[in-house]
Structure 1
């Protein structure tokens, strides 16, 4: 463990590397050449030491080979290869753990987030902001349903969460070294990074921009994946669903009591016999649905607790390349939360 503490990050934070750009990737081989060309062109104009941290999240196409070829050619690239697909939140965590810059920019590989905005983000950082959020003013190339659902989701999440998450912001942002260290203190395994970015509560600046269509390839986020991510965010930062289930149970029980009293009064006053096989089946079905929904919500939170108690690492690294070559025998053993905790303790 001491060897890992000495190796990561390999350079003193805030030392020779002023800027790290972390880019998680999954099956993005089509867009990597264009992405690399545009980002390096922008970074070269900064006249500051930088690195690109390219994280392969267990891609099944040619992405690892393209990243490896770039890392062999460009010594400013740190290539991190995860052992399998752990998901974007884990890939972001891995990238932040391997970034050595005094400032760290997170962005996607598809160039929907223009790298030309990085100098403006750096200016806000130099003015004192520890977090620079990029708020989407428009989202070209996306369907009306996706735009509207994202718009309403952020507002719903803010309404039920104790943490205010800047609306219409994605993962495209800048973090100071202080913000990165703060994130590394959060040990949870079920990670919703947009919420964690907001939770640390450091001075934040917001820049609005217009999001562009993908340069190449296709999105890896279908509607089911987006729904799962949204549900992960809600259950990670709010217990409101449990309270809604409780309120639903109370209201349903109260309505059921009123219905029962109405049936008794009708039978005693009007002399009508108790009827309604269809209404009985309808009530049983409704109550059964409410019960199953409530049990499912409780099960979601219990499942998260179960996952956290197992203390599995957020990710496992298969290999790391730095300065054009493999980073050494310890690289494959850098594995998420355990590594972050050890480095933070040493720092």
Structure 2
């Protein structure tokens, strides 16, 4: 009977496949009722071919989901959770920078009903200095402006029971934040500390541009910060306008403007033109996100599904 499903999103991880399969075999030997759900997010390398060849000989239940195109890691995770057949679920990265034993701890905690949601929290990370700095900055901003309950080191891996999975999958949002959704749904949480390993093979696809896009998605999905900033700028613009108006009026009374109206008009046009463009951009982002959700397109499309066990 399948009891514990481990979801592994895979993108540009061809070099890690042998080590990943070895780690999954170890978990399957230690975790009763284990199932692996491997979600290939239209990886451009040979990862899918390697997994398909290995699938019949794994020796434990597994699924291979191939998405029709690259939808992103979080869409792949959601699709894996939707197709998983267990009662308890965990997510693990294919690059093995998070120790596989962490998923085993999640399953133990969930089975004992100590928590509904387990979060892997980094104590340390063996990454290059620039990567550590960018990661710390990213999660500090995330904690400050998006979800205050997020651990300082961030969350990359988690486990949950069926109730949390059902709640997550019921949030049918596009361009959202899976981490934000985990905290939004609530439930009993338990943080499990771990030390992040150095990446030994391949390069991470989680580049700065993707981090920035995900941060923007998180802000607009779980924070009213942009609206507050716009309101503050509007108030500051109104105050500045009043000051400029007073200065212009005094200068006019004392006949101290050689070219009447030129300077204040230019300042006003530039400042309020900037504020207007900023406001239209923020409103446009919200309207686009509303449009995305109204269209009702799926977060991901599974092109092929193969099951063993």
* Corresponding position of 1:141: 127
Q: What is the rounded CA distance, in whole Å, between the counterparts of 2:251 and 2:16 in structure 1?
A: 71
| CA distance in 2 between partners of 1:147 and 1:157 (Å) | 15
Match in the other structure for 1:306: 291
What is the aligned residue count? 304
In structure 2, C-alpha distance between the alignment counterparts of 1:54 and 1:112, rounded to whole Å:
17
| Structure 1 segment 53-202 matched on structure 2, within 5 A | 53-74=37-58, 75-125=60-110, 126-142=112-128, 143=130, 144-158=132-146, 164-202=149-187
Find the residue that maps to 1:110 and give its secondary structure: coil
| Of 228, 236, 241, the match for 1:256 | 241
Residues 1:272 and 2:260 aligned together = no
Deviations along 1:51-72, one digit per CA (max 9) or x if unpaired, are 1100001111101101211212
TM-score scaled to structure 1, two decimals?
A: 0.82
Q: TM-score when scaled to structure 2? A: 0.92
**Shift >6 Å, 4+ stretches:** none
Structure 1 portions without partners, runs of 5+: 1-15, 325-347
Whole-angstrom distance in 2 between the partners of 1:280 and 1:107? 58
Describe the shift of the 1:218–1:279 C-alpha distance in structure 2 as closer, same or farther (beyond 3 A): farther
Query: 1:23 aligned to 2:15?
Result: no
Instruction: Please say if residues 91 and 103 of structure 2, whose CA atoms lie closer than 8 Å, have aligned partners that are also in contact.
Output: no
Q: Is the 8 A contact 1:58 1:84 kept in 2?
A: yes
Cα pair distance change 1:221/1:124, threshold 3 Å: same
Root-mean-square deviation (Å):
2.0
Q: Residues 315-334 of structure 1 correspond to what in structure 2 (within 5 A)?
A: 315-323=300-308
What SS is found at the alignment partner of 1:114?
coil
Unaligned runs of 5+ in 2: none
Q: Distance in 2 between matches of 1:61 and 1:277?
A: 61
* One of 16, 23, 28 as aligned partner of 1:43: 28
Q: Cα deviations across residues 142-183 of structure 1 (Å, max 9, x unaligned)?
A: 42431332232222234xx5x744443323011111211111
1:249-273 C-alpha deviation (Å, 9 max, x unpaired): 121122122112112113314x312
Alignment deviations for residues 42-94 of structure 1 (CA, whole Å, 9 cap, x no partner):
33123x01011000011111011012112122252210001111111210111
Where does residue 335 of structure 1 map in the other structure?
A: none
Distance 2:308 2:27 in 1: 20
